[in-house]
Chain A
């Protein structure tokens, strides 16, 4: 059973860079499932950040694209998120999730990490 766990700093400074890691256990990257980052803040609710299919495609939320980088380390069963030029508006709970292929061009985020709280403040 696949499980996801986010890790990273809880506090980052304005104008700085946020780096988060998602560790996948109980499974590994395959050629079908995408892997995604979502954040949740009181002001903006749930917001999709980006997702990728390992070694193939990556899609970004246009509102964040200029500041986001996603990468994968298959040897460690991890993928990561980098978000630059931070402001208070980036304060949120950050989740990683699996975007599972149910077949027939049907997809959904079926496995989520527990989330990690990130506060942007000096």
Chain B
């Protein structure tokens, strides 16, 4: 089973700043199967990025995904108030989906 480790656990930033969230895999992950979600309090996860770098429908351009192999990054340019939330990465291999433990982006 591939384990995803997200860092940092919490990121304290101000609106307008840039956020860089890391997702590190215990083994190489195919780019096609690396996904990022956003979750706001009391809501279901929302798909942001699929295939490591493709924005889902309706996702603002300030969200971007990059990386390959074992290291992936979600970048949020110019944080908006609604971006303060928890972010999860997810991967698929060997017929099993696994999630990272999440990074909380909080207002500084």
Binding site for B on A (CB under 8 A): 36, 45-48, 51, 59, 61-62, 95, 102, 104-110, 112-115
Judge whether B44 and A108 touch: CB under 8 Å. Answer: no
Known: A108-B35, A110-B56. A102 touches B51 (CB 8 A): yes
Q: Is the CB–CB distance between B54 and A115 below 8 Å?
A: no
Q: Tell me, in angstroms, the Cα distance from A105 to B90 when the chains sit together.
A: 16
- Knowing A107-B92, A109-B45, A114-B44, say if A46 contacts B99 (CB, 8 Å): yes
Q: In the docked arrangement, what's the CA distance between A46 and B97, Å?
A: 10
Which residues of the other chain, A, contact B92 by a CB distance below 8 angstroms? 107
Given contacts A104-B32, A105-B32, A107-B33, contact A45 B44 (CB under 8 A): no
Smallest Cβ distance from A56 to chain B, in angstroms? 13
Please tell me if the beta carbons of A48 and B51 are within 8 angstroms of each other in the complex: no
State whether the Cβ of B88 lies closer than 8 Å to any Cβ in chain A: yes
A residues within 8 A CB of B46? Answer: 112
Chain B contact residues, CB within 8 Å of chain A? 32-33, 35, 37, 43-47, 50-51, 54, 56-57, 88, 90, 92, 95-99, 101-102
Residue of B nearest to A111 (CB): B47
Residues from chain A with a CB closer than 8 A to the CB of B102 are 45-46
List of B residues within 8 angstroms of A110 by Cβ: 47, 50, 56-57
Q: Is the interface of B mostly helix, strand, loop or mixed?
A: strand
The answer to whether B51 and A106 have CB atoms under 8 Å apart is yes
Q: Are A109 and B35 in contact (CB-based, < 8 A)?
A: yes
Interchain nearest-CB distance for B32 vs A (Å): 5
Known: A102-B54, A107-B50. 5 other contacts (CB 8 A): A46-B88, A46-B99, A59-B95, A95-B45, A115-B44
With most chain B CB atoms within 10 A of its CB, the pick from A47, A62, A112 is A112
Q: Which of B32, B43, B51, B96 contacts A61 (CB 8 A)?
A: B96
Of A45, A46, A47, A95, the most chain B CB neighbours within 10 A belong to A46
